[in-house]
Amino acid sequence: MEGGEESQVLESLSGELNYVIVDEGIYFNPRTDPGRDSFIQFLNFATGSVKQIAAIKKPVADGLSISPDRRWILYTQFSGQEGSDLMLVENFC
């Protein structure tokens, strides 16, 4: 945080809580058009490249977390009905 010019890192997010910053980059859920699949992506700080980690059929709600070993992703999801589901993404690396 030495100062300097600010610069935009990501084009858009699906919600204000849908990103996680780690040493290597940022895991995030970009905004998509209604009715389209959602995605979890990773922006690599070293290369500037974005990699798709997972495609998700239902819209992602606010909330995204990554386990310390980067093996697990936890996210919330709109189901379109009352109640809730807990989703787990495995083997995304």
Structure confidence by residue, pLDDT tens digits, 17-29: 888 999 999 999 8
Q: Cα dihedral sign for 24, 30, 65, 7?
A: positive
Runs of H (alpha helix) within 1-93: none
**Which segments of the chain have a pLDDT < 70?**
1, 14-15, 78-85, 93
Q: Is residue 83 part of a domain?
A: no
Amino acid in position 8: Q
39: in domain = yes
* 29: in domain: yes
Confirm whether 93 is domain-assigned.
Answer: no
The range of the structural domain enclosing residue 42 comes to 19-77
Task: Choose among 82, 83, 75, 71: nearest CA to 57.
Answer: 75
Looking at the domain assignment, is residue 73 inside a domain?
yes
Domain count for the chain: 1
